[in-house]
């Protein structure tokens, strides 16, 4: 009998980010982004007890990704989302975005926004699966590279059709296992 190892998706646990996680978060941040946030930025974001939520994706004790959200009365904004290079294309970002939308809903958000690099087609495809659509462009948004950012929104995340979309994404994710 051949035993299959469980997929990464089966092992991902989403938990609140803590200051002690920042060393590992910063390793991913520097590996993934040409213009990484500083430890100071993360520390100041974590200090904001209301209006923000930062989560890490863990496989065992290893941090393999993280996501952040900022909340306003009926909206949420994805401030950051990153997966360690060794864990990309394994469903981790999908798990993290499902978690982020659930957090947004728990905070009363009806809509979610984010910015994504114009050249990051892989991330854009993920966001489109979640119903995000481009609504604008921030020219030269990333100063180090000069790259534009697409502003994307997912509207009515509290609706039945969006709940069905999330259920479908979850079912597809489980079928990968």
Average pLDDT, whole number, for the chain?
93
- Interatomic CA distance for residues 59 and 156, integer angstroms: 31
Over pLDDT 90: what percentage of the chain? Answer: 86
Categorize the per-residue pLDDT at 6 as very low, low, confident or very high, splitting at 50, 70 and 90. very low
Token pair for 35: 């213009």
Q: What is the pLDDT of residue 175?
A: 84
Q: Is the pLDDT of residue 5 over 50?
A: no
Question: For residue 76, what is the enclosing H or E element?
Answer: strand 75-83
pLDDT-derived band at 2, boundaries 50, 70, 90: very low
Tell me the domains of the chain and their CATH numbers.
Answer: 8-175 (3.40.630.30)
Active-site residue set: 115, 127
With the C-alpha atoms ordered 22, 55, 80, 177, is the resulting torsion angle positive or negative? positive
Q: Does 155 or 6 have the greater pLDDT score? A: 155
What confidence score (pLDDT) does residue 10 get?
A: 74
pLDDT of amino acid 7: 59
Q: What is the pLDDT of residues 33-67, one digit of tens each?
A: 999 999 999 999 999 988 999 999 999 999 999 99
What is the 3-state secondary structure of 32-74? HCCCCCCHHHHHHHHHCCCCEEEEEEEECCEEEEEEEEEEECC
- 89, pLDDT greater than 50: yes
Query: Would you state the pLDDT for residue 126?
Result: 97
């Amino acid at each position: 009998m051949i035993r299959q190892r469980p997929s990464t998706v089966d092992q991902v646990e989403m938990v609140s980010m803590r200051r002690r996680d920042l060393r590992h978060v910063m390793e991913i941040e520097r590996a993934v982004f040409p213009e990484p946030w500083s430890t100071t930025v993360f520390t100041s974001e974590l200090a904001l007890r209301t209006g923000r939520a930062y989560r890490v994706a863990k496989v065992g004790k290893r941090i393999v990704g993280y996501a952040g959200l900022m909340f306003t009365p009926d909206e949420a904004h994805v401030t950051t989302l990153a997966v360690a290079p060794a864990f990309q294309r394994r469903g981790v970002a999908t798990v993290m975005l499902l978690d982020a939308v659930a957090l947004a809903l728990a905070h009363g958000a009806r809509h979610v926004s984010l910015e994504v690099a114009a050249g990051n087609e892989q991330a854009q495809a993920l966001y489109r699966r979640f119903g995000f659509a481009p609504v604008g462009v921030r020219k030269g948004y990333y100063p180090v590279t000069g790259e534009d950012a697409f502003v994307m929104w997912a509207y009515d995340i509290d609706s039945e059709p969006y709940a069905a979309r999330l259920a479908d994404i979850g079912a597809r994710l489980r079928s990968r296992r």
